């Protein structure tokens, strides 16, 4: 390579490198603004797609590809998927299809950058668009403000790309393909590692691919070197998912590990084929060849893994050991708070688990073979979970214009309140003793037991609540009339037990009602 001499040459080289770094910064910032705006615009529908259309691995692939193409961030879709797995909205095996598809969807940005940014060079056009978009973002409200941020992010992305290309022209004598590792398996493997490290730092495979495209266009990388770097960048994108799963549940950790293994194995499978691909292409338009390779090897990786998904599931399950049970609040993973939908789903799941735990303990206590042991153990199991759920909801922030999420959040607050009262009622064991020893009251109590053991829809709970209240009133009138001149203490004790049963039925009905609202607003 030619050596640059003289102060002017060194100044041009330094300016070129600094300009290139600034261009990367503009590209990254534009990418972040654009991705956040896209997620705000399509966020709820995107979450609905991920939750609904992943019943099979193939449908998961399509959903993951479309979702990533929409928000232009495989990391965002991966983290969202890990959160959905942690919240119990989708299973681990279902998540694999989404991960496969996310790797395909993320390649769309490479095509946009290559066609619109590199070939058409619309950075100059993006300047006035940036002004209009900034005004729209600053002055607009709701959807217009999000649209302004979307256009502003897109403009910054293409302006940054133009800056990078201009800077590379100033530094072209300082960089050369010979400065990078040579051809051969070891050299390509080193480039894969460098690509993974670059994207792990940039946190954007799109930015990494853009950098490689610019350097190939400036003659500072060969197609083979760029392809090896891009293969490593796929591995680097998994870092975000790994960080999101730290300290998470076993399904979350399995999902993050599966994402890493998929990208790592795909890159290693295709690495030996790079010389053949490069020779077959014959050096024609290396930038087009790179984006074609990026899409092709992700599609090929998916086709390789799809038939062996069940075996892949068993492999990952064997690699991630079970942890000691973390209790009823286990789904409340820290990383889920970033996404309101997954955070609300985790809270709903914990609330249902707490309600079932209290109901099961009461059903044992009110059955014919009275067993108070589950009731005695209840505070130790349920109180920490209630405290964790209360803390979780207090830290959750819902966007003011997300009406469905606000309604769901309010319903869960009502559930939390009734669960606390439900637990307090379950601790009043003296009243339970009076219920099970009175034949007439025992029948009413066992009706409630059946409902608790087989959860009913809210309408059935409301009907049961009314029946218990009506039966309680009849029993009170009959006993008070029969024993009007007798000792009132047994009657008062009976009335107290009846009131307890009515309150328990009320709480059961309210919990079922508000959980039903939470499920309905989930969409």
64-83 confidence digits (pLDDT tens) = 888 887 776 777 778 778 87
Between 394 and 399, residue with greater pLDDT: 394
Share of the chain above pLDDT 70, in %: 72
Q: Name the pLDDT band for 413 (thresholds 50, 70, 90).
A: very high
Does position 454 have pLDDT exceeding 70, yes or no? no
pLDDT reported for residue 4: 42
CA distance 174 to 11: 12
What is the pLDDT of the chain when averaged over all its residues? Answer: 76
Listed range (164-178, 287-301, 495-509) with the worst mean pLDDT = 164-178
DSSP state of 179: G
455-476 confidence digits (pLDDT tens) = 556 566 666 666 666 666 666 5
DSSP state of 72: T
Average pLDDT over residues 489-502: 72
pLDDT reported for residue 15: 60
Q: What is the dihedral of CA 214, 218, 224, 229, to 10 degrees?
A: -40
Q: Name the pLDDT band for 2 (thresholds 50, 70, 90).
A: very low
Q: Name the pLDDT band for 316 (thresholds 50, 70, 90).
A: very high
Return phi, psi of residue 462, to 5°.
Answer: -65, -40
Q: Which residues contact 157 (CB under 8 A, 6 or more apart)?
A: 26, 27, 30, 31, 34, 117
Average pLDDT over residues 149-159: 78
433-446 confidence digits (pLDDT tens) = 777 776 666 676 76
pLDDT reported for residue 469: 67
CA distance 64 to 94: 11
Q: Which two tokens stand for residue 513?
A: 């009602």
Three-state DSSP string of 235-297: HHCHHHHHHHHCCCCHHHHHHHHHHHHHHHHHHHHHHHHHHHHHHHHCCCCHHHHHHHHHHHH
Does position 245 have pLDDT exceeding 90, yes or no? no
pLDDT reported for residue 414: 92
Counting every residue written for the chain, the total comes to 523
| Helix/strand/coil for 48 | helix
Q: Which two tokens stand for residue 420?
A: 């606390």
Average pLDDT over residues 159-172: 64
DSSP state of 306: G
198-230 confidence digits (pLDDT tens) = 777 766 777 778 888 888 877 778 888 888 888
| Helix/strand/coil for 131 | helix
Between 96 and 276, residue with greater pLDDT: 96
pLDDT reported for residue 522: 65
Angle, CA 411 vertex, CA 408 and CA 417 arms, to 5°: 145
Between 233 and 488, residue with greater pLDDT: 233
Contact 52, 189 (CB under 8 A): no
Q: Which residues contact 369 (CB under 8 A, 6 or more apart)?
A: none
Q: Distance of CA 312 to CAs 81, 89, 238, 255, Å? A: 18, 21, 17, 11
């Amino acid at each position: 390579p030619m050596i640059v001499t003289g102060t002017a040459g060194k100044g041009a080289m330094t300016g070129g490198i600094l300009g290139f770094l600034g261009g990367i910064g503009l590209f990254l910032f534009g990418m972040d603004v654009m991705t956040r705006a896209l997620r705000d615009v399509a966020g709820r529908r995107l979450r609905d797609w991920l939750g609904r259309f992943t019943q099979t691995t193939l449908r998961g692939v399509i959903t993951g590809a479309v979702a990533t193409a929409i928000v232009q961030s495989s990391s965002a879709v991966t983290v969202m998927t890990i959160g959905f797995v942690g919240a119990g909205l989708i299973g681990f095996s279902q998540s694999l299809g989404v991960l496969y598809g996310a790797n395909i969807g993320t390649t769309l940005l490479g095509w946009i950058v290559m066609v619109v940014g590199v070939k058409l060079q619309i950075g100059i056009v993006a300047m006035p668009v940036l002004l209009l978009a900034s005004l729209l973002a600053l002055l607009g409200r709701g959807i217009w403000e999000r649209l302004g941020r979307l256009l502003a992010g897109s403009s910054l992305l293409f302006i940054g790309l133009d800056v990078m290309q201009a800077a590379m022209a100033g530094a072209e004598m300082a960089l050369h393909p010979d400065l990078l590792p040579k051809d051969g398996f070891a050299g390509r493997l080193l480039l894969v590692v460098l690509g993974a490290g670059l994207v792990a730092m940039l946190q954007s495979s799109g930015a990494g691919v853009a950098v490689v495209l610019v350097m190939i266009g400036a003659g500072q990388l060969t197609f083979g070197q760029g392809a090896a770097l891009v293969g490593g960048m796929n591995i680097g994108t998994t870092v975000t998912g790994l960080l999101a799963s730290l300290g998470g549940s076993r399904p979350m950790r399995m999902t993050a590990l599966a994402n890493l293994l998929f990208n790592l194995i795909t890159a290693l499978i295709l690495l030996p084929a790079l010389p053949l691909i490069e020779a077959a292409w014959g050096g024609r338009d290396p930038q087009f060849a790179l984006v074609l390779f990026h899409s092709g090897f992700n599609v090929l990786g998916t086709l390789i893994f799809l038939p062996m998904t069940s075996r892949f599931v068993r492999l990952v399950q064997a690699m991630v050991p079970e942890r000691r049970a973390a209790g009823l609040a286990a789904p409340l993973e820290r990383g889920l708070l970033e996404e309101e939908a997954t955070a609300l789903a985790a809270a709903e799941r914990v609330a249902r688990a707490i309600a079932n735990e209290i109901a099961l303990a009461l059903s044992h206590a009110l059955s014919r073979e009275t067993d108070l042991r589950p009731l005695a153990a209840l505070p130790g199991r349920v109180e920490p979970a209630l405290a964790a759920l209360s803390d979780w909801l207090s830290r959750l922030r819902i966007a003011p214009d997300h009406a469905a999420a606000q309604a769901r959040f309010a319903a869960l607050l009502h559930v939390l309140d009734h669960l606390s009262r439900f637990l307090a009622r379950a601790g009043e064991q003296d009243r339970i003793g009076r219920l099970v020893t009175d034949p007439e009251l025992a029948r009413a109590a066992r009706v409630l037991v059946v409902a608790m053991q087989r959860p009913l829809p809210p309408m059935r709970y409301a009907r049961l609540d009314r029946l218990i209240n009506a039966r309680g009133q009849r029993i009170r009138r009959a006993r008070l009339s029969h024993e009007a001149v007798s000792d009132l203490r047994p009657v008062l004790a009976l009335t107290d037990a009846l009131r307890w049963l009515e309150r328990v039925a009320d709480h059961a009905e309210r919990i079922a009602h508000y959980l039903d609202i939470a499920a309905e607003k989930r969409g």
